[in-house]
Amino acid sequence: WAAVRSKAPYVTFPVAFVVGLVGSQLEWFLRGDPPPTAQEEKSISEQREDRKLQEITGEDLTKVVSLKDKLEFAPRAVLNRNRPEKS
């Protein structure tokens, strides 16, 4: 048993390697197309930038609400102690 225990890594690694290789090939065969490579995929930040650009396309970016028109442009004070009540 001591010999089997000491030689177990030398037996299990090749078996695990073959099982992984067969499983990978079987998955590729069932799916058909390999997954896109990292070079073809866009990063999360690039996807976010593209989405933001699509959202603002066609909008007039010069029309913004002035700070005078905004009622709550300043951060709220803790427990509203330092702010007067609005009428």
Q: What is the pTM of this model?
A: 0.36
What is the CB neighbour count within 10 angstroms for residue 2? 6
For the chain, the structural domain boundaries read 1-80
Residue 74 has pLDDT above 60, yes or no: no
Q: How many residues make up the chain in this entry? A: 87
pLDDT tens for 19-32 read 999 999 998 888 87
What pLDDT shows up at residue 42?
Answer: 79
DSSP 40-74: TSPPHHHHHHHHHHHHHTT--TT----TTT-S--S
CA atoms of 13 and 15, how far apart (whole Å): 5
DSSP letter, residue 39:
T
Contact 61, 55 (CB under 8 A): no
Range from 17-26, 38-47, 56-65, 74-83 that averages highest in pLDDT: 17-26
Residue type, 79: L
